[in-house]
Amino acid sequence: MNAVAHEELLRPLEEFTRLHLDTLRRFGGRALDLSFPNPQFLSDPRPYDVLASLAAQARPLDLRYSPFGGFTPVRRRVAAALSKQHGLPYSWNDIVMTPGATAALRVALNTLFTPPDRIILVTPCWMDYPLYLQDLGLAFDLVPATDDKHLDVQAIANTWTPQTRGILIAQPGSPTGVIHDDRELKQLALLMQRHSTPTPPLLIADEAHAQQVWDKTSCPAPAAHWAHTLTVRSFGKAWDMQGQRTGCLAVSTNLGIRHQAVQQLVRTMRVTGHCAPTALTQQLAASLSDTAPDLGKLSGLQRHARRRLLSHGVMALDTHATRFLYARCPTPDDWAFVSQLAERGLLVMPSSLFHESGWFRIALNFGTPALDRALDIIGEEYNRA
């Protein structure tokens, strides 16, 4: 492991965490924190009601150890729900329950790739994709998305090397909220098909935000376009219960080595010390697997926030999913603009954390009027810069 490269990947979030803590200390209850997605209101109370009911009825055996891949009845219900969403006939043993989407990603990368494999990452991307790969000794190539943050398939093709063995994308995109449509997913699949000799490349589809599409836009599954796909899901993200750390890996039913892959994924869970989610949160995931979150409040906030920003001349990226807004900074230095906002007690995330410069990410953690105060500060500082 290259210690210098490791430090460079760790440092940005650590620096932002210091800025975050310093701002909270200075402003206390007056701080407006739109950085980490920790909403301070309930969009949908049903998961909390279900969790309370499960906890109240729990018997000792309901809270027992589970196998490393998760309880079979839970995996069966998750498989059935995902089959409807993806249009693929998942079986219970195509599903591996994980303690959150981050663990699912790490387990998948650890299991399916070995040096000198190279992985393509489309930027902007979640901050720790490169960190996991670098820590595993896997090389990676960062490929910028198009200006509107969709897949640049030609740029991916130009980056492909004889050692490239996989691509990792988020659907919808995080931090952007962009939904990759059928056309671009089909183009990506055709590219991967051209590089399928001697071994088809793997596609890791991070669908942590797939259940946060807040308008009527379709969100096609990458697994429906490319047979050699592993899908990552997050129940915590879907239900605004991120801290409960409940996710899963779904192995495509068309993957030729699907059963061997699942066996290896479960083994990696053990080797890395990643146990299955807690018994209670697995039961919660099973209970909610057939229920779609109520996104009415998020939809209203998204539309309201975009109008408010536009009134200040701030244009957010045109997207349809996630709790985030992604907007361009008034200057290329995103750290400077985020620091400027922090001086007024407002916290948002710089896009440098997501491996591109010049943008910032807002998490819709408040309703009005607190959100309006935050958006007005953004507008004032944007026009002052």
pLDDT in tens, 137-155: 999 999 999 999 999 999 9
* Res. 2: pLDDT tops 80: no
Question: Roughly what angle, to the nearest 10 degrees, separates helices 101-112 and 258-272?
Answer: 110
Q: Is pTM, for the whole model, over 0.85? A: yes
205 band by pLDDT with thresholds 50, 70 and 90: very high
Which tokens sit at 93?
Answer: 């043993």
Which fold would CATH assign to domain 46-288?
Aspartate Aminotransferase; domain 2 (3.40.640)
Q: Are 244 and 284 within 8 A, CB to CB?
A: yes
* Res. 328: pLDDT tops 90: yes
The average pLDDT across 194-206 equals 95
* Res. 42: pLDDT tops 90: no
The average pLDDT across 332-359 equals 98
What does the pLDDT read at residue 1? 59
Q: Quote the CA–CA distance of 53 and 50 in Å, as a whole number.
A: 5
94 band by pLDDT with thresholds 50, 70 and 90: very high
> At residue 276, what is the residue type?
A
- The SS3 of residue 146 is coil
Which fold would CATH assign to domain 3-45+294-384?
Aspartate Aminotransferase, domain 1 (3.90.1150)
- The count of C-alpha atoms lying within 13 angstroms of the C-alpha of 177, restricted to the half-sphere facing its C-beta, is 24
Q: Quote the CA–CA distance of 262 and 268 in Å, as a whole number.
A: 10
What does the pLDDT read at residue 327? 98
69 band by pLDDT with thresholds 50, 70 and 90: very high
Q: Are 208 and 223 within 8 A, CB to CB?
A: no
Domain residue spans of the chain: 3-45+294-384, 46-288
* Res. 289: pLDDT tops 70: yes
**Neighbour count for residue 169 (Cβ, 10 Å):** 23
What does the pLDDT read at residue 107? 96
Q: Quote the CA–CA distance of 106 and 365 in Å, as a whole number.
A: 27
Average pLDDT, the chain: 95
Q: Are 320 and 172 within 8 A, CB to CB?
A: yes
Pick from 302, 293, 296, 312: nearest CA to 364 = 302
Which one is predicted more confidently, 255 or 296? 296
What does the pLDDT read at residue 3? 74
